[in-house]
């Protein structure tokens, strides 16, 4: 069975999406925290809590832009709710909030590992968001790839690596929250999150291309063998 061709996607749309994601999840929270604590005298906890509203705005913009809430957006919303809940319970200190925030990324890693037991792992849905432009044609193409064993194996391997990486990242960030000043961690924490995300993104792209090349080679070998048998 031949692999269906991937539909063309909009590069401009993807670029805008990434700019919004980095701006609202990294730049805006850091600027908000520094402005509120240094210029307006807010407490570290209050400033940190308000800074976490920016990712909520990012999710809302993306949902309005795509005019639907897909599985990726649903997972994001669930973790934003978890973050808000755990932020309001227990000790109300900046360090406690940083530790709780780190725990959320650890929960994300555990979620990745847990979905390995589900019919489709979490990276299948994340891949569909970032490997397509959300159009019906590109979404149907991605869904149709699930019929191939190599594709299923690739998604499960990616999910395993992402899960282990984020559990490890959370444990390291919790340890640093005790060892470093809050102001340092406010800057370092999102850098760690998106640094790990960037490293995983590079690895994922490389691994995906490698698996695709292996699949194309096997398909060519099978086609050549079939042609030789027919001859």
At 39-73, the pLDDT tens digits run 777 776 676 667 777 776 776 776 666 655 555 55
Q: pLDDT tier at 16 (50, 70, 90 boundaries)?
A: low
Please check whether residue 1 lies inside any domain of the structure.
no
For the CA atoms of the chain, what is the radius of gyration? 21
- What's the pLDDT score for residue 118? 92
Q: Is the pLDDT of residue 6 over 60?
A: no
Residues 6+ apart with CB under 8 A from 3: 145, 148, 215, 216, 219
Q: What total of structural domains would you count in the chain?
A: 1
Query: d(Cα 143, Cα 119) in Å, to the nearest integer?
Result: 13
Q: Is the pLDDT of residue 10 over 80?
A: no
Residue 5 belongs to some domain of the structure: no
* 74: pLDDT strictly greater than 60: no
- Listed as own residue / partner, the contacts of 189-193 with beta carbons closer than 8 Å and 24 or more positions apart are 189/98, 189/101, 189/102, 190/25, 190/26, 190/29, 190/30, 191/26, 193/105, 193/169
Q: Is residue 108 part of a domain?
A: yes
pLDDT digits (tens, 9 = 90+) for 167-222: 999 999 889 888 888 778 878 887 887 788 788 888 988 998 888 888 778 777 76
pLDDT at 95: 74
H or E segment and range at residue 15: helix 11-22
| pLDDT at residue 76 tops 70 | no
Residue 141 in any domain: the answer is yes
Q: Which residues contact 101 (CB under 8 A, 6 or more apart)?
A: 52, 83, 87, 189
Q: Hey, how many other C-beta atoms are within 10 angstroms of the C-beta on 140?
A: 12
Residue 6 in domain: no
Burial of 186 (0-12, 13-18, 19+ CB in 10 A): buried
Residue 173 sits in which domain range? 11-230
Q: Is residue 4 part of a domain?
A: no
DSSP codes of every residue in 155-187:
HHHHHHHHHHHHHHHHHHHHHHHHHS-HHHHHH
Q: What is the pLDDT of residues 126-171, one digit of tens each?
A: 888 777 766 778 888 888 889 988 899 999 999 999 999 999 999 9
Segment 110-128, tens digit of pLDDT: 989 999 999 999 889 888 8
Is 2 domain-assigned?
no
Q: Nearest Cα to 167, choosing from 102, 88, 95, 89?
A: 102
What pLDDT score does 114 carry? 94
pLDDT of 225 above 60: yes
**pTM for this predicted structure:** 0.65
Q: What is the reported pLDDT for 86?
A: 61
DSSP 120: S
148 SS3 class: coil
């Amino acid at each position: 069975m031949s692999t269906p061709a991937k539909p063309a996607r909009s590069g401009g749309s993807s670029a805008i999406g990434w700019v919004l994601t980095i701006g609202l999840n990294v730049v805006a929270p850091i600027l908000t925290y520094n402005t509120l604590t240094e210029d307006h005298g807010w407490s570290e906890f209050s400033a940190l809590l308000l800074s976490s509203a920016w990712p909520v705005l990012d999710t809302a913009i993306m949902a309005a832009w795509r005019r639907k809430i897909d599985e990726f957006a649903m997972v994001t919303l669930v973790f934003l709710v978890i973050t808000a809940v755990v932020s309001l319970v227990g000790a109300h200190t900046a360090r406690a909030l940083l530790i709780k925030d780190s725990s959320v990324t650890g929960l994300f890693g555990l979620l990745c590992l847990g979905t390995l037991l589900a019919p489709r792992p979490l990276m299948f849905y994340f891949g569909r968001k970032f490997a397509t432009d959300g159009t019906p044609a590109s979404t149907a193409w991605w869904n149709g790839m699930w019929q191939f064993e190599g594709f299923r194996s690739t998604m499960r391997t990616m999910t395993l690596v992402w899960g282990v990486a984020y559990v490890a990242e959370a444990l390291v960030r919790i340890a640093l929250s005790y060892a470093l000043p809050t102001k340092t961690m406010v800057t370092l924490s999102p850098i760690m999150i998106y640094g790990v995300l960037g490293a995983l993104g590079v690895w994922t792209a490389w691994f995906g291309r490698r698996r695709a090349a292996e699949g194309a080679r096997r398909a060519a070998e099978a086609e050549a063998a079939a042609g030789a048998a027919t001859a």
